[in-house]
Amino acid sequence: MIISTYLGNSGRKYERTRHNIAWMMLERLSFYSRLNWISKFKGDYARAAEPESIHLKPATLMNNSGESLAAALNFFKLSHQQLIVVHDDLELPFGTIQLKKGGGAGGHNGLRSIIKLTGGADFYRFRMGISRPPANREVSSWVLSRFSPDEEAHLDDFCREAAEIFESALSGGLKPGNKTQILNF
């Protein structure tokens, strides 16, 4: 059994922002419309039969994602080896994904919360590139901003193709590897 957690922020003002790219990808999973979401663990979760998995969407703010995830892991008696966190990543160019196992928080407060509250960092990460902010831009305002018009034009394709790759990783076993550039523009 795998538990997939999609990091983002609740509320209309955060829709289609860089920090919510994981939620945008979640909605493009081929089985998304068949998921029956239940409110629990300070968020919403759903079970999928194929592939057998649990999907969690924390309703806490991004920086407190660990609260939701720790409760779900405890309830389902799952370990870090059964966890994959889907999140935005500044270190990857927009249009790039990477499946990675382990590592630090890398400045990502959602990951920091998960590491702190679940007691470990040895979980899988499905990193979705949102690029670094320009030199004159604060990171916090960058991740909470909408995508540029050029990025917005390619955002749906990025999320759709990332969802296909994510499903393949879930179905075929998780295999961390190289970065994958989905979009070239």
Query: What type of residue sits at position 163?
Result: A
Q: Residue 124: give its domain's CATH number.
A: 3.40.50.1470
Q: What is the pLDDT of residues 157-167, one digit of tens each?
A: 999 999 999 99
Cα 130 from Cα 90, distance rounded (Å): 5
**Is 154 tagged catalytic?**
no
Instruction: Give residues with Cβ within 8 angstroms of 144, minimum separation 6.
Output: 9, 14, 17, 18, 19
Q: What is the pLDDT of residues 39-98, one digit of tens each?
A: 999 999 999 988 789 999 999 989 999 999 999 999 999 988 889 999 999 999 999 999
Q: Name the token pair of 61.
A: 């703010």
Domain count for the chain: 1
For residue 43, give its domain range: 2-181
Q: Mind listing the pLDDT tens digit for each residue in 90-122? A: 999 999 999 999 999 988 999 999 999 998 999
Catalytic one of 19, 55, 87, 108: 19
